[in-house]
Structure 1
Amino acid sequence: MVVEEWQEIRTGDIMKHKELALFLFTPICGTCKLAEKMLTVIQELLPDFPIKKVNLNYTPELASEWEIQSVPCLLLFKHGVLIKKIFAFQSVDYLYKEIKYLCSTEE
């Protein structure tokens, strides 16, 4: 399963999901390619959890709005609220646990 790419983001796109992971990348970032492979595994393990990706080259305003320090970056949202930013994609297991924790919390 491939992580779906969004060309642009509107607040409603994020709000319509109870939980959402938003993967921010740039095409020439080698670490981003590895991180995307890790997220593809997560998508297979959690097929009902929405993971979307956004090329920051097309949406530079997001870097300022969400204070993105580097790519790759994974933003975890709950009910449209940014809960966590992950810059170090340590392992598939780490990402899986972070997403499962997000799904288990009530906010």
Structure 2
Amino acid sequence: MTWYFNNNGAADGPYDDEAMASLVAQKRIQAQTLIWHPGVDLWQEISSFSPSWWKSAMASNAAGSNEKPVKADTPTTTRNLVPMAPRADNSPKVQTSFLKRLFGWGKK
């Protein structure tokens, strides 16, 4: 399954299950990080979505590390931003120049 996560207000992905588990191990994503995958309408926190890669990554982190998570010195302001989900109809649009649009140059 492909996953996307909220990376400072922008959708970052797609990632497969292994890559998402790796991001958890690198502490790039936490329980409060918003995630999304095709077929789901809304972004959800990892802790409430609880995918299989999250459970396995948390179990391996708990077994292999006694470190306490370090809290950031400055609060993030992107927590309430919800990134737009990637859409299948994002086909490139044909760009025309301003003068061509204004004066209709090149129309048959």
TM-score (norm 1): 0.24
Higher relative contact order (CA 8 A, sep 6+): 1
More strand by share: 1
Q: What TM-score results when the alignment is normalised by the length of structure 2?
A: 0.24
Q: Which has the larger radius of gyration?
A: 2
More helix by share: 1
